[in-house]
Structure 1
Amino acid sequence: MSAAAILILAAGASSRMRGGDKIMEEVAGAPLLTVLTTRALAAGSEVFVALPSADHPRAAALSGLDVTIVPVPDAAEGMARSIACGVAALPVDTSGVMLLPADMPELSQADLTAILRAFAGGMARHVVRGAATDGTAGHPVVFPARCFDDLSALQGDQGARSILNAETDILTVALPAQHALTDLDTPEEWAAWRAKQ
Structure 2
Amino acid sequence: MICAAGASRRMAPDDKLMLPLQGRPLLRHMAKRVLEISVPTLVALPPEPHPRWHAVKDLPLRKISYPESAEGLSGTLRAAVADLPPTVTHLCVVLADLPELAPVDFAQLFEHRRQYSDCLIWRSLSPNGKPAHPTLFHRDTFPAFAQISGDVGAQPVIAKFKSALHEFTSSRRAGSYDIDTPQDYKTYLKSQV
TM-score by structure 1 length?
A: 0.89
Q: Which runs of 5+ in 1 are unaligned?
A: 1-6
**In the alignment, which of 159, 168, 171 is matched to residue 163 of structure 2?**
168
Q: What stretches of structure 1 move > 6 A for 4+ residues in a row?
A: none
2:10 maps to 16
State the one-letter code of the partner of 1:196: S
Q: Give the whole-Å Cα distance in 2 for the aligned partners of 1:65 and 1:49.
A: 11
Does the residue aligned with 1:119 lie in a helix, a strand or coil?
Answer: helix
**In the alignment, which of 105, 130, 154 is matched to residue 111 of structure 1?**
105
2:73 maps to 79
User: 1:1-197 maps to which residues of 2 (within 5 A)?
Assistant: 7-123=1-117, 125-166=119-160, 167-197=162-192
Measured after TM superposition, the shift of residue 135 of structure 1 is 3.1
Measured after TM superposition, the shift of residue 121 of structure 1 is 4.2
State the one-letter code of the partner of 2:190: A
TM-score by structure 2 length?
A: 0.90
Query: Considering only aligned residues, what root-mean-square deviation do their CA atoms show, in Å?
Result: 1.7
State the one-letter code of the partner of 1:160: A
Measured after TM superposition, the shift of residue 133 of structure 1 is 2.4
Measured after TM superposition, the shift of residue 52 of structure 1 is 1.7
Q: Give the whole-Å Cα distance in 1 for the aligned partners of 2:7 and 2:100.
A: 21
Q: Give the whole-Å Cα distance in 1 for the aligned partners of 2:68 and 2:108.
A: 33
Is 2:119–2:166's contact at 8 Å kept on the other side of the alignment?
Answer: no
Q: Give the whole-Å Cα distance in 2 for the aligned partners of 1:44 and 1:173.
A: 23
State the one-letter code of the partner of 1:192: T
Instruction: Summarize the Cα distance change of 1:140–1:96 in structure 2 as closer, same or farther, 3 Å threshold.
Output: same
Percent identity over paired residues: 29
Is 1:48–1:86's contact at 8 Å kept on the other side of the alignment?
Answer: no
Does the residue aligned with 2:124 lie in a helix, a strand or coil?
Answer: strand
Q: Give the whole-Å Cα distance in 2 for the aligned partners of 1:128 and 1:122.
A: 9
Does the residue aligned with 1:154 lie in a helix, a strand or coil?
Answer: coil
Deviations 1:96-155 (A, max 9, x none): 111111111111111122213322443374311121223332111111101111113210
Does the residue aligned with 1:168 lie in a helix, a strand or coil?
Answer: helix
Instruction: Summarize the Cα distance change of 1:171–1:105 in structure 2 as closer, same or farther, 3 Å threshold.
Output: same
Deviations 1:26-57 (A, max 9, x none): 22221111111111111121101111225422
Measured after TM superposition, the shift of residue 177 of structure 1 is 3.0
Q: Give the whole-Å Cα distance in 2 for the aligned partners of 1:77 and 1:55.
A: 19
